[in-house]
Amino acid sequence: MIIVRITMQVLAEKHKEVLQTLLSLTAAMEKVDGCLGYAFSCDIKEKTIFYVIEEWENRQKLDKHLKSDLFGVLLGLKGLLRQPHGIHIYTIQKAEDMNAVISERGKRDDRLWLKKQGE
């Protein structure tokens, strides 16, 4: 799995425009072959910082996306930012779920909670 994390520090007066653009990309991203997830959020303390997270099946499908017009829309926001996009691409070899957390914590209440969720 490939994770892409994009940080955008938006000019304060362009906040709404960037937000609308990110919202408009959501439906289209859900249809892109190989995209397992797309989400964005706003920093809690600094409302002009947005984070975009994309999850991809593999590098080949991500590379195709990076060349697409859709990704071009995201890059096209550069004129609305205080500084260039911060883009990081992570290759994940192994992913774990809540069982790993509960195993590490070793608390009885956590194990009971997880068991109830499976019922």
pLDDT digits (tens, 9 = 90+) for 1-47: 999 999 999 999 999 999 999 999 999 998 999 999 999 999 999 99
Its domain, for residue 35, covers 2-93
CATH of the domain at 60: 3.30.70.100
35 forms beta bridges with 56
Number of domains in the chain: 1
pLDDT digits (tens, 9 = 90+) for 40-92: 999 999 999 999 999 999 999 999 999 999 999 999 999 999 999 999 999 98
Task: Kindly state whether residue 31 falls inside one of the protein's structural domains.
Answer: yes
Q: What is the pTM of this model?
A: 0.81
Q: How far is CA 47 from CA 17, 29, 32, 51, 86, in A?
A: 13, 23, 28, 11, 16
